[in-house]
Amino acid sequence: MSQLILPLGSNPRHTFANFCTDGNEGILDALESLPRQGGSLWLHGPQDSGKTHLLQAVCHQAKAREVSAAYLPLKQMRELGPEALDGLEQCLWICLDDVDAVLEQGDWEQRLFGLINQAMDHGASLLMAARQPAESVSVALPDLRSRLRGAVSFPLHPLDDERQSEALRRRAHSQGYDLPEDAVRYMQRHVVRGLGQLCQLLDQLEQASLSQQRRITVPFVREVLAQPPTSESRL
Amino acid sequence: MSAIWQGCLRYLEAELTEQDINTFVRPLHAEESPTSLLLLAPNMVLLQQVRNRFMDRIENYVRAFAREDLSIDLRVGTQPLAPEGSPSSPPQTETRAPDFGIDLNYSDRLLPKFTFDKFVRGHSNELAYATAELVSLQAGNDDYNPYLIYGGVGLGKTHLMQAIGHAILQNQPNTSVVYLHCEQFVQSLISALQHNRIDSFKGYYRSVDVLLIDDIQFLAGKERSQDEFFHTFNALTGRQRQIVVTCDRYPKEIEGMEDRLKSRLGGGMYCAIDPPSTETRAAILLSKAEQRGIDLPNPVAWFIAEKTVGSVRELESALSRVIMQANVGGQEIDVDFARHCLRDIVPVRDRLLNADQIKSAIAAYYDVTKEDLDSQRRPQAIALPRQMAMKLLHELTQMSLASIGESFGGRDHSTVLYACQKIQKRLDENDEQTQADYRNLKRKLLG
Amino acid sequence: MKFTIEQQALVDPLRKLASTAPDVASLNASVSGTDAVNAVASILIEPEKGGVRFTATDNTLRLAFHIPVEGEDLKPCTVPASTLLHICSRFSAGAEICFELEGDGKAMNVSHGRSRYKLVVVDANEFPGITSQDDEYELSLPENVLRSLLSSVRYAMAQNDMRYYLLGVLLDVGPDSVTAVATDGHRMAVAEHAVQTGVNESVQPIIPSKGVEELTKILTDQEQDLVLHLAGNHLRLELSGDRCAFHTMLVDGKYPDYRTVVPTERKLRAEVSREALIKAAERIIPVTDELTQAVILTFKDGENLEIGARNNKGDTGEEQVEMKINRDDGAEEEVKISINIKYLIDSLQALGCPDAVLAVNDGSKSMLITPSEGSSKHIIMPMKA
């Protein structure tokens, strides 16, 4: 028997406040000054370097400023077809994640090109994220290639252990509790891949902590890691 | 912004993932009037997602926290970008016609392009087409009621069904024709149950003249919906109202469908649509091109028809790509150009046949032998090519990790997984040599 | 300085004060014995108009009572809280207890009849204060309303959660209503009262659990308006007639949006006698699993509500309570739901009316418990096998 828990989750969780920059503080300034500027930004870096976090944070910010925004994870939207991009130019902030996933994908490039042009006409801001710099992705449409390369480029780097730990603790803090240092170290030693997985583990720990009414400590983390992941309960 | 919608957003934020919110919900624009909440989605794709995945939650919220009697209308539309502070102008909406009642507005629009004259006939759909024409002329005739069209995806079932609707409306404009996807039927039933409006639900569906329901197989395993559909069915056919349904297989083969419903569905007229022959496919392409005012040369139509496997929808998208790229580049469409445009599709089909090619290409590229790749030796010079080979086999073929391992001298799947991760890591870390090798090899293999 | 107080007039406030002041034993041993620590564990006695003021604090919470006395030469001093309570509570009712400060101000003589005690006094300047900023908001609501709101939800507060915002009761105060909310993630209690509060924008203070406990002790059923002062992280209020002043720090944090958690539609509603259900539920406790305390409730049309349990030794029990079922849909399938029996009893006890309505959808959705009269809502999440 396991106790189900009330959906007390306070999404969204990706904000500028809980983003750890690694030697590139300029990026936050650039993103926060978006509405006045218009134009387009290209964020690039390997997995776990914070691209998705920043794009989601922009959408979160949009809510506070009452600006229309959309986050478009193109890799996952690929199956919906390129028509999914139609009409989105009406949003003022358009965040395109995994842009490389739809490049050289027939209609997608065409629609993407159209969206970028219309967005520019509307004075909207475009944020694009990909693993590679815009110069090294291969694009079939020459016009699209030049649009992408015209974006202001920002490289992002994955965090080292110490900053990773800081990022986790900030995340915990934004959820209203303090995450003990030794628990973070234990998590880092036992999770193989990157911040993304650590955050997933933290989510899982939070749920388990509510369900079992226990605090997140090293023994608790060890127990949770030993269990197969359970699906999150909802009301 | 609508106050009700703001409250609803807060509610959804607690219920849904951040990504679903930012991707599907945030782009919606809400307009509130004293009697209704109008939600405008940027396009049909996002609208469908919102309707199928989040509409029940939105309705729950509005009913419970805002107003019982508020109708919620989800449409495709755009809100003109008004400068901040200026009064917002009324939204330009693309109305989903026709508007059936307030609470059960689940019907979809008949798409203008799905008419009889735009349907491309061939051997595979001749009978289904002819019957559809008959049905449209003699709607409600017991011999053709229900009319069931079945066959695989993308073969034109929906087209034919909507064409019946169009034709009936053209002859008798006052007929109430309702087209909806089966999933929407189920959704509207659930919603009616939740809001204690089952009577309006029954009243609504039993009052239509022509009911077009797509993909009836979605009823499988949904007993309550089947039951309700069964009664609706009897009520309509009893009053000589026409029912047309489509299904992805013959209804008798649907598991989880009640026998009485199966026998009702097969009790009128039924026709299968088979995958079109290459000839029909080429004809479809020519017709589609003509609709767009493009002069598509015959050999190109044949080339695309032959090289694209899959549904008519895929065929159409292949054509779209060729046309768009021709427009962009201002080029004339010939077979070579089409081959170039579709280079990522065409070899996809060929490469499935031949995993050996990949190994050969890699052996040649790294200047090792294929035997080296398969051998148990592990010098550095061979490790990388071997890992690259595993990665590309994994990416470009349908082989499982285990069978890839097997093909490399009996290695197990974890070795293959490790190899794939290793290469991916190098790619992610911007290792230039690996990236170049990977790009070159893919280009070589995919043509 | 010298004054006398009647035993009962002293002991009642003294109990509340002693539970506010932390026990010296619970404080860190390395600092015990210092004046500062002794001061925290003390009661501050100050002269004020018409009597003296007894104050206790634990640094986050401050409670003060006005006690009308007649005395001479009154000046501030402190006495150890628990010692004073221990002694005075053992005098008989009606006893006149005499307090007299020694001439050098180092000790307080407490005496009655043949009993004499000399208690060491700590410098009143060591007694900690809580500094608060200027008032930001003032809101008013009747004393009995605040009392009933807090007492109907407090059972659901989290006890030991790392999320500090759950360790208290949220007061969601709008211009024309006040809602109290408590949750520990497994269950939630929400009580609302329509009242003109005098605020223009809504405010959401979270009162920490200790503050809630103390408040429910001091609040009475009087209908006079209380004025609550909210300033930054502080909440201050005074009971009418200058009887008592209460001051607490608030929990700093954002409370989850409780409105989204309250279920809106529950297709099956069963009306039961609250008392009968509590009795049955309490009887069955020993045969529930020690760890989960799970019971299975079965709702079936035309039958009694069935409560079934089985403990790890294999004992089983079944209770039946009469119920009246009411459904939206015509369906008749039975609904089974596993819940923690303690949670059920807690919510039923908080209802305070003859009948309760249990509303369910199915075994995976929360159960909503509401009183037959009144507006509080009690939500319990089920357990899953």
Report the CATH number that the domain containing residue B18 is assigned in CATH.
Answer: 3.30.300.180
Confidence of residue B447 (pLDDT cuts 50, 70, 90): low
State the residue for tokens 């064409």.
B163
Range name among A31-35, B262-266, C147-151, C194-198 with the lowest pLDDT average: A31-35
B230 touches chain C (CB under 8 A): no
Interface of B with A in 108-127 (CB under 8 A): none
Low-confidence ranges of chain C (pLDDT < 50): 29-31
Q: Is residue B390 within 8 Å of B404, Cβ to Cβ?
A: yes
Element (H, E) at C140: strand C137-142
Q: Are residues C113 and C13 in the same domain?
A: yes
- Is B14 within 8 Å of C264 when comparing Cβ atoms? no
Task: Specify the CATH number for the domain of residue B336.
Answer: 1.10.8.60
Q: Which of C179, C255, C259 has the highest number of chain B CBs within 10 A, making it the mutation to test binding with B? A: C259
Per the structure, the complete domain to which residue B327 belongs is given by: 278-342
Q: Are residues B380 and B428 in the same domain?
A: yes
* Confidence check: pLDDT of B161 > 90: yes
Q: What was the pLDDT predicted at A12? A: 47
Q: Are residues C290 and C355 in the same domain?
A: yes
Chain A residues closer than 8 Å to C382 by CB: 4
Of B37, B62, B82, the residue that ends a domain is B82
- The most confident of the ranges A189-198, B280-289, C93-102 is C93-102
Confidence of residue B351 (pLDDT cuts 50, 70, 90): very low
Percent of chain A topping pLDDT 90: 14
- Is C259 within 8 Å of B194 when comparing Cβ atoms? no
Chain A residues closer than 8 Å to B324 by CB: 107, 110
Q: What was the pLDDT predicted at B103? A: 35
* Confidence check: pLDDT of B39 > 70: yes
Of B304, B323, B342, the residue that ends a domain is B342
Q: What was the pLDDT predicted at B96? A: 30
Three-state DSSP class for C79?
strand
What is the rounded average pLDDT of the residues B295-316? 78
| DSSP 8-state assignment for residue B410 | S
Q: Are residues C29 and C115 in the same domain?
A: yes
Go through C308-340 and write b for each residue having 16 or more CB atoms within 10 A of its CB, e for each that does not: bbbbeeeeebebebebebeeeeeeeeebebbbb
Minimal C-alpha gap between A111 and chain B (Å) = 10
Residue C86 resides in a domain? yes
Token digits for C334? 């039975």
- Cβ neighbours of residue C282 under 8 Å, at least 6 residues apart? C345
Q: Is residue B128 within 8 Å of B247, Cβ to Cβ?
A: no
Interface of B with A in 351-380 (CB under 8 A): none
- Is A177 within 8 Å of C384 when comparing Cβ atoms? no
pLDDT digits (tens, 9 = 90+) for C111-164: 998 999 999 888 877 787 777 666 678 888 999 999 999 999 999 999 888 888
Q: What was the pLDDT predicted at A48? A: 81
Q: What was the pLDDT predicted at C305? A: 94
Q: What was the pLDDT predicted at A227? A: 76
Minimal C-alpha gap between B169 and chain A (Å) = 28
Q: Are residues B289 and B338 in the same domain?
A: yes
Q: What was the pLDDT predicted at C335? A: 92
Distance CA B175, CA B350 (A): 50
What is the rounded average pLDDT of the residues B370-381? 78
* Confidence check: pLDDT of A232 > 60: no
Distance CA B65, CA B68 (A): 8
What's the number of domains chain C is made of?
Answer: 3
Q: What was the pLDDT predicted at A235? A: 31
Per the structure, the complete domain to which residue C293 belongs is given by: 268-380
Q: Are residues C149 and C250 in the same domain?
A: yes
Q: What was the pLDDT predicted at C63? A: 92
Q: What was the pLDDT predicted at B184? A: 74
Q: Which amino acid is at A162?
A: E
Q: What was the pLDDT predicted at C363? A: 87
Chain C residues closer than 8 Å to A176 by CB: 163-166, 253-254
Distance CA B130, CA C374 (A): 67
Minimal C-alpha gap between A161 and chain B (Å) = 17
Minimal C-alpha gap between B27 and chain A (Å) = 5
* Confidence check: pLDDT of B226 > 70: yes
Q: Are residues C65 and C172 in the same domain?
A: no
Residue B101 resides in a domain? no
Facing residue for C263 by CB, picked from A5, A233, A235: A235
What is the rounded average pLDDT of the residues B198-227? 85
Residue B88 resides in a domain? no
Chain B residues closer than 8 Å to C328 by CB: 193, 196
What is the side-by-side strand order in the sheet with A152-155? A69-73, A93-97, A125-130, A39-44, A152-155
Q: Are residues B225 and B162 in the same domain?
A: yes
Of C126, C161, C190, the residue that ends a domain is C126
Facing residue for A59 by CB, picked from B26, B325, B430: B26
Minimal C-alpha gap between A11 and chain C (Å) = 10
Distance CA B41, CA B26 (A): 10
Specify the pTM: 0.58
Torsion over CA of C108, C109, C112 and C113, rounded to 10 degrees?
Answer: 180
Distance CA C75, CA C64 (A): 16
Pick the more confident residue, B435 or A8: B435
A68 touches chain B (CB under 8 A): yes
Range name among A225-234, B81-90, B211-220, C202-211 with the lowest pLDDT average: B81-90
Residue B110 resides in a domain? no
Token digits for B290? 């003509």
Facing residue for C381 by CB, picked from A4, A176, A177: A4
